[in-house]
Chains A and B, each alone.
Chain A
Amino acid sequence: MRYSIFTVLGQAMSGQKGWTPAWREPSPKATYDVVIVGGGGHGLATAYYLAKEHGLNNVAVVEKGWLGSGNIGRNTTIVRSNYGLDGNVPFYEWSLKLWEGLESDLNYNVMMSQRGVLNLVHSDAQRDAAIRRGNAMRLHGVDGDYLTRDQLRPILPFLDFDNARFPIQGGLLQRRGGTARHDAVAWGYARAADQRGVDILQNCEVTGIRLNSGRVEGVETSRGFIGARKVGLACAGNSGRVAAMAGLRLPIESHVLQAFVSEGLKPTLPNVITFGAGHFYISQSDKGGLVFGGDIDGYNSYAQRGNMPVVEDVMAEGVSMIPAMSRLRVLRSWGGIMDMSMDGSPIIDKTSIEGLYLNAGWCIGGFKATPASGWCFAHTIARDQPHALNAAYRLDRFATGHLVDERGAGAFPYLQ
């Protein structure tokens, strides 16, 4: 069923009784050309682009729980491409370009809202770094404008511009950045992939990866063995566990990142705002709640929940940026497991095992990358070589020294 204003009106007239399931629930076939492990945003996007761009329709996505039960439904929904390093900017900009056309491409409303992403700066050094990053973006054809505090004041009067410790000097604004409805991204990719013949196998947990003399043969799952010429791993926080089934050790640690949502408000925040004197980001959902988060908890974790020190830290940062937030009640908080890589950048690459491909290490920023990650991973799998856009995201860069260290924190995932 194709979604349009006419189907919506037609269903409204007929009591909403004619809707059909957005995707099938097929039984696993004995073999596939490609099996993608992980039915989150990146896995589903990969399957979609394998079918759409490379004509590979004999593809399955296996997911241990229900579709989109991991980080695609747990993030703070921010989309942006305001990076500074050569290896990153073209990739994230391609992602943003795919975001801009995603709804018509998928025929699904992902509620993409280009409301702008503003990074505040609080010192001379931060201002210089922000302007430099803005210039790097513009050299790559990405939009980025530095706004002074006088330009920001009338737009965002609720910010604490004259905070004694962290006065706001200005900010780098990417107007094309914004937010998208995270669950809808998973559902939209799932539906579009399904329509192109991809089998989405939910409640199908991978328990082993079958190898034969250095070549992948398929995956053992809770629903039996599934043969595959190629297997792509897109398991986010569980990447280490799944890669271990093929005997691989990764430059990745799993950590917990918390997120929060407040009670609903009337329209208050016009865009996404990040606090520069710490690590804090906030936006307002279309339901009205403020959605925000900060740093990872900072210790290895596979538990999808965090601890109080980060909760207090995040609240303190929010209140020092927007004092009015102190009157708000937090409705919910939750945690997701991040695949923290050793340089803060992802990996989209082949592995040492023939037919086994890896998409991992997204740290705390995987959501915005969903379209380009799937697009590049599909290319890497189908052509058996990386695309120029993901050429910097090699698995062997840690051995060769070609790190993509945007944050400059060094090989300490708990500090990324």
Chain B
Amino acid sequence: MRISCPYCGERSIHEFSYRGDAGPTRPVTPAGTPVDPALLAFWIDYVYLRDNNPGLHRELWYHVGGCRAFLKVTRNVTTHAISQVEAVR
């Protein structure tokens, strides 16, 4: 597998560190909000539950052996083919 970093060009995955599924979105809880069970369900979902589908997967990679940018990569988990790489801003 090779990842085309938008800053460094195409590099071997030796240089990258996987940082997990980019799909789940962190629930917004303003500071000081009391914990309510409805919100807890969102947190459980965010931390633990995954779609885990075959096919296209959006995920985070950290270019630790290069420019140290975080990248959002779209990759087919069945074939390992990478179709899109964008910098996380």
Contact = CB atoms under 8 A, between A and B. Distances in A.
A307 B77 contact: no
Contact of A411 (B1, B47, B54): B47
B49 A300 contact: no
Contact of B50 (A249, A307, A399): A249
Count class of interface residues, chain A: 20 to 34
A253 B21 contact: yes
Contacts of A251: 48-50
Interface string B60-72: 0000000000000
B44 A250 contact: no
A65 to B, nearest CB: 15
Interface string A168-185: 000000000000000000
Interface in A127-152: none
B13 A300 contact: no
B7 interface: no
B36 interface: no
A252 interface: yes
A282 interface: no
Contact of A301 (B12, B45, B49, B80): B80
Contacts of A414: 18, 20
Nearest to B14: A309
B66 to A, nearest CB: 14
Looking at chain B's contact residues, is the secondary structure mostly helix, strand, loop, or mixed? mixed
A334 interface: no
- For chain B, the bracket of interface size reads 20 to 34
B33 interface: no
A298 interface: yes
A326 B89 CA distance: 44
A250 B49 contact: yes
Given A253-B21, A398-B44, A240 B52 contact: yes
B29 interface: no
A70 B65 CA distance: 35
A398 B48 contact: yes
A71 interface: no
A399 B37 CA distance: 11
B32 to A, nearest CB: 23
A252 B21 CA distance: 12
A89 interface: no
A253 B13 contact: no
Interface string A69-98: 000000000000000000000000000000
Interface in A379-416: 398-399, 411-412, 414
A342 interface: yes
Contact of A252 (B45, B50, B59, B79): B50
B11 interface: no
Most buried by B among A252, A299, A303, A414: A299
A370 interface: no
B51 interface: yes
Contacts of A299: 18, 59, 75, 77
A324 interface: no
A321 B89 CA distance: 43
B19 to A, nearest CB: 8
Contacts of A249: 45, 49-52
A244 interface: yes
Contacts of A309: 12-14
Contacts of B59: 299-300
B21 A300 contact: yes
A300 B1 contact: no
Given A298-B18, A302-B78, A307-B13, A254 B48 contact: no
A241 interface: yes
Contacts of A298: 18
Interface in A346-404: 398-399
B77 A411 contact: no
B82 to A, nearest CB: 11
A254 B12 CA distance: 22
Interface string B31-57: 000000000000011011111111001
10 contacts: A240-B51, A251-B50, A299-B77, A300-B21, A300-B77, A301-B77, A302-B77, A308-B12, A399-B44, A411-B48
The 5 closest A-B pairs by CB, nearest first: A240-B52, A398-B48, A251-B48, A302-B54, A249-B49
